[in-house]
Amino acid sequence: MAVIRTLADIERVHRSGQVGLVFGLEAATPIENEIDRLDVLFGLGLRQIGIAYSDSNALGSGLNEPSDGGLTTFGRRAVTRMNRLGLAIDVSHSSDRTGLDVCGASEHPVFMTHAGARAVWDTGRMKPDDVLRAVAETGGVIGMSAAPHTTLSRSHPLHDIHSVMDHFRYCADLVGIEHVAFGPDTLYGDHVGLHTVFGHLLGKTTGDGPPHEKVPYVDGLENPTENFGNICGELVRDGLSDSEIAAALGGNILRVLKEVWA
């Protein structure tokens, strides 16, 4: 197993058939109001960072807040430093206003690593069209989540690979195939049980939105080993070309990292 710090590391690990790990944080909360801690984290190998994880912090509002304050002045300074260092910025758990503000402030493409479309499933954990478009307009990429009871759809309200694909198709139609990918956010073991135990800490996962039946696991996306083989099969059945499938299964992310990590 190898730690990934550069694009060359990704290429080397891929050629050797190893597993590579990119160190990241889902929120920048640990830096408190000390912007130089971003440099420390980068020096320790961090290459991806979220702005806020559901609850607000010194940088901006999370998606769990009843009042959306957006990105703070400190948050704007932090985004500038993240750009300078080469930290990939993620707005998956940020509020709508924070996501828009980050896209406006960042000089580099922005990631939404694991989310979905609110137009497909009306819940605060999903993102509205204006935020999805804003991420794409930075040149960034939107990854479809498959964490249990999040990316459901009206057509497939029992959470499985088909409801996740409904979000993928919607986002691809909205912003283009070059701006979409998959960030399943799945685990080995009882992912539903984990969400049940820690749901009060996660914010806007299963507590809002339309009523739906709970599942014991997301059928077709049960764990990281099976995820992408099954996703690839769905993309083939959808009639995507080889180049489109390659883009959605990692090519888009690599393209953006070449700009962000440079």
**pLDDT at residue 250 above 80?**
yes
In contact, 45 and 5? CB cutoff 8 Å? yes
Report which of residues 144 and 202 the model is more confident about: 144
Q: Across all residues in the chain, what is the average pLDDT?
A: 94
* Residue 206 binned pLDDT confidence (cut-offs 50, 70, 90): very low
For 8-49, what is each residue's pLDDT tens digit?
Answer: 999 999 999 999 999 999 999 999 999 999 999 999 999 999
For helices 73-85 and 96-105, angle between their N-to-C axes, nearest 10 degrees: 50
Lowest mean pLDDT among 77-81, 85-89, 202-206: 202-206
Q: Does domain 24-260 have CATH number 3.40.640.10?
A: no
The residue extents of the domains of the chain are 24-260
Hey, is 173 helix, strand or coil? helix
**Residue 81: Cβ within 10 Å count:** 17
In contact, 52 and 65? CB cutoff 8 Å? no
For 148-157, what is each residue's pLDDT tens digit?
Answer: 999 999 999 9
Q: Kindly write down the DSSP assignment for every residue of 102-154, as one continuous string.
A: HHHH-SS--EEEEE-BTTTS-STTSB-HHHHHHHHHTT-EEEEP-STTTS--S
Rounded average pLDDT over 120-146: 97
First-last CA distance in the chain: 24
Q: How far apart are CA 114 and CA 103, in angstroms?
A: 16
The pLDDT value given to residue 201: 64
* Residue 1 binned pLDDT confidence (cut-offs 50, 70, 90): confident
- CA of 204: how far to CAs of 53, 120, 122, 187, in Å? 11, 16, 11, 19
List phi, psi (to 5°) of 207.
-85, -15
* Residue 207 binned pLDDT confidence (cut-offs 50, 70, 90): low
Rounded average pLDDT over 137-154: 96
In contact, 139 and 109? CB cutoff 8 Å? yes
The pLDDT value given to residue 198: 77
Is beta strand 141-144 parallel, antiparallel or unpaired with respect to 88-90?
unpaired
Q: How far apart are CA 127 and CA 34, in angstroms?
A: 29
